[in-house]
Structure 1
Amino acid sequence: MTTILHEERLSTVVAAVAETGARTVLDLGCGDGDLVLRLAGVAGIGRVTGIEIDAERLRRAQTRLAGLPAGGARVQLACASLTQAHSNLAGYDCACLVEVIEHLPLADINRLERALFGGMRPGHVIVTTPNAEYNPVLGVPPHRFRHPDHHFEWDRARFARWGRGVAARNGYTVTFHDICGAHPDLGGASQMAVYRRGDQSP
């Protein structure tokens, strides 16, 4: 993906988080801290926690976060698996997975669902993932993925089937959005699902 698309994706997710009214936010698979840095400066957010399994990326994120100005959100990082529920991460207002699920083996997707939606149960969950239909626009050859570390890339219909199933099984509602471009037939470069737990106000 290009830097322009990456920036657009992050801006879209930050706006979606702000729309939920969340004060506490989890960034699951936070990588080098791109989203954490942006969320830390959003008015109304008081705590941001980034979770990453790759210790080297987590160290890079920690270095970047050292430059945050005082007085913003409280930020913390932790090295942990996304496919295991963590009781100390329960109760967050919103959790984000930005271009993360496609890096997991398909066998781990169900484990992620149980850990996040069944165990930690944040009030809202925001998930983005590549839209496979858009790959030709990016010059990705057929039968190839955008990144060698991707285990899958779903079209919009497949993502929607998965997302609706997750919502139904765990007591959430979900809406879907094309992001990072709007081709009239192919949608955006990425796609976003926004989940709301059933007891949360619309």
Structure 2
Amino acid sequence: MTSWLHEERLHAVEDAVRATGAARILDLGCGDGDLLVRLAGNPRYDEIFGVDLCPDAIGRLRRRLNTCDVRVPKIGFRTGSMFDPAADMAGFDCAVLIETIEHVDPARLSALERALFHDMRPETVVITTPNAEFNTLLGVPAHRYRHPGHQFEWSRARFREWCARVGRFYGYKAMVTDIAGCHPDLGGASQMAVFHGTGTALPPDTG
């Protein structure tokens, strides 16, 4: 992926997280910590925690944190799954998933929804995902995805539909915006949803 796009995403997410006023941040699918390292230098946050399936990525994150100016009192990270969250992954002020959901098998997406919005249930959730409509401007052939690990890529209408459905079911309200460009017809290269909990009751536990 082009570096300008990654930078635009990081800026958009960092701004969104700051705007929530959150003090405790959970970075799901944190990779080697591009967002986490940025947030770690900001003393406005009390805790930042990163989770990723890849132990090599977590190792790179650890090494990066050892060489940067960390101003957050509490930082943690582990190799782990979003689908079966540990108890200490619940109740954060804000959870972030940057270009993560498109790596999930569509058949398992409902399990991720439940783990995130029911089990972990942060006050705010920030999610970015590619905008499939923009692919042609990036030179991506119509029959391919941007990355071989992607299981799907959604149009803006499809992403908004998903956000609205998940929000209704789990008691969140989502605001969706284009990020990384703003083509008059195709939108941005990525799209971002910021979910805020509405305080409504959770759906019945069917697990």
TM-score bin, normalised by smaller chain: over 0.9
Specify the SS of the correspondent of 1:83. coil
Q: Tell me if 1:182 matches 2:174.
A: no
The correspondence of residues 48-87 of structure 1 with structure 2, limited to 5 A, is 48-87=48-87
2:197 corresponding residue in structure 1: 197
CA contact (8 A) 2:40 2:69 kept: no
1:40 corresponding residue in structure 2: 40
Give the CA deviation at 1:68.
Answer: 2.6
Q: Percent identity?
A: 49
2:100 corresponding residue in structure 1: 100
What amino acid sits opposite 2:173 in the alignment? T
TM-score by length of 1: 0.96
Structure 2: distance between partners of 1:17 and 1:90: 17
What amino acid sits opposite 1:184 in the alignment? P
1:91 corresponding residue in structure 2: 91
Runs of 4+ in structure 1 off by over 4 angstroms are none
CA contact (8 A) 1:103 1:150 kept: yes
RMSD of aligned alpha carbons:
1.3
What amino acid sits opposite 1:153 in the alignment? E
**How many residues of Structure 1 are paired with residues of Structure 2 in the alignment?**
200
1:8 corresponding residue in structure 2: 8
Q: Tell me if 1:154 matches 2:150.
A: no
CA contact (8 A) 1:84 1:111 kept: no
Give the CA deviation at 1:40.
Answer: 1.2
Specify the SS of the correspondent of 2:31. coil
Structure 2: distance between partners of 1:186 and 1:21: 31
Could you say if the C-alpha distance between residues 138 and 73 of structure 1 is closer, same or farther in structure 2, counting changes exceeding 3 Å? farther
Q: Which runs of 5+ in 2 are unaligned?
A: 201-207
Specify the SS of the correspondent of 1:113. helix
Q: Which runs of 5+ in 1 are unaligned?
A: none
TM-score by length of 2: 0.93
